[in-house]
Amino acid sequence: MSNLVSAFTAKGILALVAICLFFTTTSQAQDLPLANGKEYTIGEITVSGTTSYNDQTVLAYAGLRPGERIFLPGDRISKVLKKLWDSNLFSDINIYVTSIEGDTANLELEIVEVPALAEVRLQGVKRKDREEIIKESKLTPGTKVTENLVTTTRNYIKNRYQEKGYLNSKVAINTIPVEDTTGTNLVNMVVNIDRGERVKVEEIVFEGNEKFSDGKLRRAMKNTKEQNFLRFWKRSKYIEEDYEADKERIVSKYKEKGFRDARIVSDTLIRRDEDDVALKLEVEEGNRYYFGNINFLGNSVYTDAQLHRILGISKGDIYNGVLLEKQIADPTKPDANDLTNLYQNNGYLFSNISPVEVKVYNDTIDFEIRIREGKIAYFDEISVVGNDRTKDHVIYRELRTKPGNKYSKQDVVRTIRELGQLGFFDPEQLEPQFKDVDGNAGTLDLEYNVVESGASQIELQGGYGGGGFVGTLGLSFNNFSLRGIFDKEAYKPLPMGDGQTLSLRAQASTFYQTYSLSFSEPWWGGRKPVRLSTSFQHTEQYFYDYRSRRADRDRKFSITGVTFGLAKQLRVPDDYFVLSHAIGFQHYNLSNYNTGLFTFGDGYSNNLSYTIGLTRNNTSVNPIFPTGGSKFEVIAKLTPPYSLFNDVDYGNLGDEREFQLENENGTLINSEGRPLRPGEDPIADQSKIDQEKYKWLEFYKIKFSGTWYTNLYEKLVMKTHAEYGFLGAYNNDRGIPPFERFFLGGDGMGTYSLDGREAVSLRGYPNQSVVPESRNAANAASSNDGATIYNKYSLELRYPITLKPSASIFALTFLEAGASYDNFRNFNPFELKRAAGAGLRIFMPAFGLLGIDFGYGFDSVPGEEPGWQTHFIIGQQF
């Protein structure tokens, strides 16, 4: 003991020696004797040691003050020490008596502050893991580095890697003091991580199983698998959490087949070596049971017969405990057809349904389904939070839940879907919150939490192609506000928030220009979901001579088109159906444009059409990555049947009586304008015939497509798709026009669709290369004027990499097949061009959908042998 005053009386020295024996070195509270103390008055208190706190703060926290009467030793000092230790702010605490004058004792409180973290360095792991570990362990600068922090960090890291199968992971943590001129106690933390190798499951052995083979029980284990070089898609690794879940699946497997009493008696993990383990499970199967009588108690809203129909289980069925639980309440499907949803969709939020075994005899089990219906619940307040861009009325008009309405679970689920399908919010973060649920009053408040995502897209491209520079500027505002165009404060950069869509696009090169403008209002009139859409497009193109690299302005054509459409949501058969109508008009004007794109080089064509479509779409919340549901669409596009009333004999259009060319004086001339010689045949040339034939296009087109999404396992989704198309003519003499045809193959991006053609994707083949088989193979590729019939089938497996608002990314593999035909006589749905491959999709709100596919075509097409094709996708999904 140092710093003691030496001028004491003999009595004082004896007292001092006694006190010193109790207050030396690490005077923690539990080490202080509490008996035989003497009462003193605290004189001066000094604070020493390493600390960033001032003296008064430490003394105030400790609770010691000069003038206080205390016993030395005594429980007062013990409590002070305990309080300081419990603060976890100090690594060492000592209390010294520096001097005693009469009954006054001067004290010194020596403390060493717990060091603060200056910097942390993780070694042996990837950058992404480092960032996650630092975040989860809260290893931020300034954090107090206590023993508890070190231990917790070490355990967290080991558990993190053990959960991933690294059972032999090792973690070493060192702290290194940092010299600091400010006197602050700082340390650097160095964390060395050695994950080691993943521990694999070499063998899974079962004992006691007679009803199920080892193989069936192993297949019931979804995540814990034996090593097998043939199973490359599922790694064999031991993860304790997955193993525990798989043991539950084994028991469920037995219960599904009637073995109610089945259980796993014991399981043993056997270390074969450093990297391999074996699992041994002893099973007790028990006897097979059957359902007996199933009675309902407490039901007044629904009859027993109604409940039995939903339950779907009859007396004499093999006992299936898993099925029974799902038919009462299936937690994996919020819209399942089960008893709980039956009640909750009719307002009975507070209902409770419990199956109870009431009698077991021989191999039969009788059940009572006990139902407590409770009060009908009503929505009180409905609110939406998180929308800082989208206006409230745009959201509230989509809500199926209204204040005062009876609670309905299916309405809540449907509302989440509708909000996700808008495209304005992150569908992965849409979350309903129940608030102020009052079972006595039968009311609840509901709050929808939304997270805005980018709803506008920009397309800005420039490049050299087709003989010259091509520039493209496209803007798509998917949450536009038309009524905000006169509000100066709304321009950020444009008025937004009313749910309307405004798209502008311009593209220009040395030989063509195209401009388009479209606008749609999803709630025309503001009362019902009726979508009004309109669009305008104009294109001018000049003949381009690739040898001279100049555009001939005297040879050109132009297309001007306008479309108006209405789409209405139906109520029958259900409100997933949408009926749409559209009227479109395109005017084609050609001047000396004999290029083969059209069958005539001078003249014009008009295309006035009416399109009607019926769509049913009940896909899941996320429109970018649906995990369930389906979409069906039937579309018919029709022109007026002009040939029924224009009195033109199209079968003899080339005959002089039907089609003769005259000059201004009435003299017959040929197609070049020269007067006919005596005896010369006045039959017009084919281009003039086609000009007359196609002044007003006449056709009908019917298309069907169906898409199904099936969630196979966790986030693995299978997309099944089929589509068909048919283009027909009212008048066989007039025939099917060379417009509006189907071109199969490639990415389906619809490039160069000036004649109204539809580009249908078929990955694994070049663009528009799959021509009808009936054509001459020698000239099929060079004379591809499209098909009038096509069919296509595809199967995709999709798995998301990330579904964050900033970017949704998913990988896919596909099988695809399709073919095109000239007529029904040649139609054969089994003669298909087949392909397979893989791809990647990236959706970013600002740029839309981007993707790449690598497809292998197994069949030859004109001019192409089987092989690989690469397809780039912009703004389109298959």
Q: Quick one: pLDDT at residue 355?
A: 94
The H or E element containing residue 255 is helix 240-256
Q: Quick one: pLDDT at residue 227?
A: 80
Q: Quick one: pLDDT at residue 467?
A: 55
Helices in 46-146 by DSSP H: which ranges?
55-62, 75-86, 127-137
Half-sphere exposure of 411 (CA within 13 A, CB side): 19
Q: What separation in angstroms does the CA of 209 have from each of 174, 295, 727, 789? A: 50, 34, 62, 57
**How far does the chain reach from its first CA to its final CA, in angstroms?**
84
Lowest mean pLDDT among 232-241, 377-386, 624-633, 679-688: 679-688
How far is residue 611 CA from its own chain's centroid? 32
Average pLDDT over the chain reads: 83
Using DSSP, state whether 727 is helix, strand or coil.
Answer: strand
Is the CB of residue 297 less than 8 Å from the CB of residue 370? yes
The H or E element containing residue 711 is strand 700-713
Give the residue-averaged pLDDT of 143-151: 84
- Tell me the per-residue pLDDT of 178-197, one tens digit each, with 9 for 90 and over: 876 566 678 888 989 888 88
Residue with tokens 């305008």: 536
Backbone phi, then psi, for 241, in 5-degree steps? -60, -45
Give the residue-averaged pLDDT of 60-82: 82
Is the CB of residue 615 less than 8 Å from the CB of residue 633? yes
Higher pLDDT among residues 605 and 13, named by residue: 605
Per CATH, the architecture of 390-449 is what? Roll (3.10)
**The 3-state secondary structure of 435-458, one letter per residue:** EEEECCCCEEEEEEECCECCCEEE
Q: What separation in angstroms does the CA of 829 have from each of 242, 818, 825, 855, 857? A: 45, 8, 12, 22, 18
Token pair listed for 238 = 């031991």
Give the residue-averaged pLDDT of 600-627: 90
Maximum average pLDDT range among 403-417, 650-664, 684-698: 403-417
Token pair listed for 430 = 């849409």
- Tell me the per-residue pLDDT of 454-502, one tens digit each, with 9 for 90 and over: 767 776 665 555 556 667 788 888 888 888 888 888 887 788 889 999 9
Higher pLDDT among residues 60 and 811, named by residue: 811
Residue with tokens 């407590």: 372
Gap between the Cα atoms of 170 and 557, Å rounded: 74
Split at pLDDT 50, 70, 90, the class of 232 is low
Q: Quick one: pLDDT at residue 39?
A: 83
Q: Quick one: pLDDT at residue 71?
A: 84
Token pair listed for 849 = 């959908």
Q: Which CATH homologous superfamily contains domain 10-113?
A: membrane protein fhac (3.10.20.310)
Q: Quick one: pLDDT at residue 198?
A: 81
- Tell me the per-residue pLDDT of 251-298, one tens digit each, with 9 for 90 and over: 999 999 999 999 999 999 888 887 888 999 999 999 999 999 999 999
Gap between the Cα atoms of 463 and 461, Å rounded: 7
- 167-172-173 Cα angle (round to 5): 135
Reference 98, options 200, 3, 166; nearest CA is: 3
Maximum average pLDDT range among 58-62, 195-199, 219-223, 754-758: 219-223
Reference 243, options 161, 332, 163; nearest CA is: 163
Domain coordinates of the chain in residue numbers?
Answer: 10-113, 116-194, 200-284, 290-372, 390-449, 618-640+698-878, 645-695
Q: What amino acid is encoded at 250 in this protein?
A: I
Token pair listed for 115 = 């060091």
Higher pLDDT among residues 59 and 743, named by residue: 743
- Tell me the per-residue pLDDT of 508-561, one tens digit each, with 9 for 90 and over: 877 778 899 999 999 998 888 999 999 999 988 887 776 777 778 888 888 999
Half-sphere exposure of 261 (CA within 13 A, CB side): 11
Pick the CATH number of 116-194 from 3.40.718.10, 3.40.720.10, 3.10.20.310, 3.40.50.300: 3.10.20.310
Q: Quick one: pLDDT at residue 720?
A: 97
Give percent of the chain above pLDDT 70: 86
Buried b (16+ CB within 10 A) or exposed e, 603-624: bbbebebebebebbbbbbbbbb
Maximum average pLDDT range among 61-65, 451-455, 503-507, 563-567: 563-567
Lowest mean pLDDT among 559-573, 601-615, 660-674: 660-674
Using DSSP, state whether 131 is helix, strand or coil.
Answer: helix
Q: Quick one: pLDDT at residue 668?
A: 59
For residue 575, is pLDDT > 50? yes
Q: Quick one: pLDDT at residue 429?
A: 86
Give the residue-averaged pLDDT of 113-130: 84
Give the residue-averaged pLDDT of 745-760: 76
Q: What separation in angstroms does the CA of 315 have from each of 291, 311, 363, 772? A: 5, 12, 12, 58
Q: Quick one: pLDDT at residue 94?
A: 83
For residue 250, is pLDDT > 90? yes
Tell me, what DSSP letter sits at residue 428?
A: G
- 116-194 and 200-284 have identical folds: yes
Q: What amino acid is encoded at 756 in this protein?
A: G
Reference 791, options 772, 777, 765, 814; nearest CA is: 772
Residue with tokens 């003249």: 603
Q: Quick one: pLDDT at residue 233?
A: 55
How far is residue 74 CA from its own chain's centroid? 65
Lowest mean pLDDT among 89-98, 256-265, 428-437, 569-578: 89-98
For residue 643, is pLDDT > 70? yes
Pick the CATH number of 618-640+698-878 from 3.30.70.1140, 3.90.1300.10, 3.40.30.10, 2.40.160.50: 2.40.160.50
Higher pLDDT among residues 855 and 665, named by residue: 855
For residue 739, is pLDDT > 70? yes
Lowest mean pLDDT among 70-84, 341-355, 715-729: 70-84
Backbone phi, then psi, for 422, in 5-degree steps? -60, -35
Is the CB of residue 457 less than 8 Å from the CB of residue 476? yes
Q: CB pairs under 8 A, 24+ apart, for 533-539?
A: 533/563, 533/564, 533/565, 533/566, 533/567, 533/582, 534/562, 534/563, 534/564, 534/565, 535/561, 535/562, 535/563, 536/561, 536/562, 537/561, 537/562, 538/514, 539/512, 539/513, 539/514, 539/515, 539/754
Give the residue-averaged pLDDT of 76-85: 82
The hierarchical CATH code for the domain 200-284 is: 3.10.20.310
Tell me, what DSSP letter sits at residue 649?
A: -
User: Which strands sit side by side in the sheet containing 378-385, from one edge to the other?
Assistant: 378-385, 443-449, 431-438
For residue 1, is pLDDT > 80? no
Burial environment of residue 407 by CB neighbours within 10 A (0 to 12, 13 to 18, 19 or more): buried
Please, what CATH class does the domain formed by 290-372 belong to? alpha beta
**The 3-state secondary structure of 285-332, one letter per residue:** CCCCCEEEEEEEECCCCCCHHHHHHHHCCCCCCECCHHHHHHHHCCCC
**The 3-state secondary structure of 261-273, one letter per residue:** CCEEEEEEEEECC
Backbone phi, then psi, for 84, in 5-degree steps? -65, -40
Gap between the Cα atoms of 377 and 439, Å rounded: 8
Burial environment of residue 177 by CB neighbours within 10 A (0 to 12, 13 to 18, 19 or more): exposed
Gap between the Cα atoms of 835 and 858, Å rounded: 6
